[in-house]
Structure 1
Amino acid sequence: MALDQIIVLIAGLSLSTWVAWYFWFSEKKVVKVASGLGGTQEAIIKVKGGYSPDVLEFETGKPIKLNFIREETAACSEEVVFSDFNKKATLTPFKTVSVELEIDKPGEYGFQCGMGMLKGKLIVR
């Protein structure tokens, strides 16, 4: 095997390893949401090719208000679905849409776009 082939092989394996680590094994940054006035835990989630932040932590038993700001017109991000609570909301492009939840049980609850391509998680402790 020639030297240039070995270099390309090593570079390709290194890149593949980095991609696997980044998408599957790197730790997601969890955003802890504090209570505001009236005890409501309020978070802003930007929607553009995904949810940012996509993992949020809340306290059990306090009202939750999620403010989604959709910064795109892609069809996938038109809707956010909370299947654990049988709740969904239509997200208007370049506007803020609020979703209010009351979660009384600790656990991890997923949310996603209507197509299931964009995903996020609510951690309730």
Structure 2
Amino acid sequence: MDAAEILVTVGGLALAGLVLWYFFFSTRQTVAAAASPSGVQEVAITVKGGYSPDVIEVERGKPVQLNFYRAEENSCSEELLMPDFGVRRDLPAFQTTQIELLPQQPGRFDFTCGMGMLRGSLVVK
């Protein structure tokens, strides 16, 4: 192996490590749902290359309204899946889609795009 091959190999390993860190170990933006006067926990989520915020904390036994605003036309983000709650919903571009839930069990419940590339979590306490 010459110096150029070693440099390319080390650079490739470093980039692979960076990608793994970003998707699995980087800190995520966590937001606690705000309760409205009617007692519904509401959160606005922007969908643009990912979910922002991507970790949402809510209280169990209280209704939750997630307002997904899709600020892009990327085909990956056109569908939302929340398998633990039986939700499969289309997210039209540049529109807000409301998802209403009543979480009964504490835990961490993942949501993804239809392709599984964009990820977020609903943390029920």
Q: Which residue identity lines up with residue 97 of structure 2 in the other structure?
A: V
The Cα of 1:113 is off from its aligned counterpart by 0.9
Superposed counterparts of 1:74-113, under 5 Å:
74-113=74-113
The Cα of 1:82 is off from its aligned counterpart by 0.8
Q: Which residue identity lines up with residue 121 of structure 2 in the other structure?
A: K
Aligned CA RMSD, in angstroms, stands at: 2.2
Given the two structures, how large is their TM-score scaled by the length of structure 2?
Answer: 0.83
Equivalent residue, structure 2, for 1:61: 61
- Secondary structure of 2:35's match? coil
Count of residue correspondences: 125
Gaps of 5+ in 2: 1-6
Given the two structures, how large is their TM-score scaled by the length of structure 1?
Answer: 0.83
Using the aligned pairs only, state the percent identity: 49
Pick closer, same or farther for the CA change 1:14–1:117 going to 2, 3 Å: closer
Gaps of 5+ in 1: 1-6
The Cα of 1:12 is off from its aligned counterpart by 7.7
Query: CA–CA distance in 1 between the matches of 2:118 and 2:62?
Result: 26
Stretches of 4+ moved more than 6 A in 1?
7-16
Deviations 1:71-115 (A, max 9, x none): 111111111011011111111110111000010111111111111
